[in-house]
């Protein structure tokens, strides 16, 4: 029982540290909202460089927050899948 409380506390502390680290980052503006930045979306937006510029930006280190989030989500799913497979092997 006591070890379960220690594990839960450790997981909660790690989650708070992760949230704190994410909140401390100065995330760049994506510029994807056309009403706020007055840019016109072309008709073939998904087939040209407009989408790439919207995700990654035109300057170094700008506009990649969405891609970073998706990579983190992919790693989380892979981790959970690995834990599931490890538990299945034990049984």
Q: Would you state the structure tokens that stand for residue 16, as one six-digit string?
A: 């708070």
Checking 54-62 for CB contacts under 8 A at 24+ apart, the result is 54/30, 55/30, 57/28, 57/31, 61/28, 62/28
pLDDT, one tens digit per residue, over 2-35 is 888 999 999 999 999 999 988 888 766 655 555 5
pLDDT, one tens digit per residue, over 21-71 is 888 887 666 555 555 455 566 665 555 666 666 666 666 655 566 777 888
pTM assigned to the model: 0.34
**Residue 60: φ, ψ to 5°:** -65, 130
């Amino acid at each position: 029982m006591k070890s379960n409380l220690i594990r839960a506390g450790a997981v909660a502390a790690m989650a708070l540290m992760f949230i704190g680290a994410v909140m401390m980052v100065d995330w760049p503006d994506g510029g994807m909202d056309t009403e706020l930045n007055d840019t016109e979306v072309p008709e073939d937006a998904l087939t040209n460089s407009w989408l790439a510029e919207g995700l990654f930006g035109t300057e170094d280190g700008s506009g990649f927050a969405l891609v970073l989030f998706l990579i983190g989500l992919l790693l989380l799913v892979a981790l959970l899948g690995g834990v599931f497979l490890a538990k299945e092997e034990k049984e």
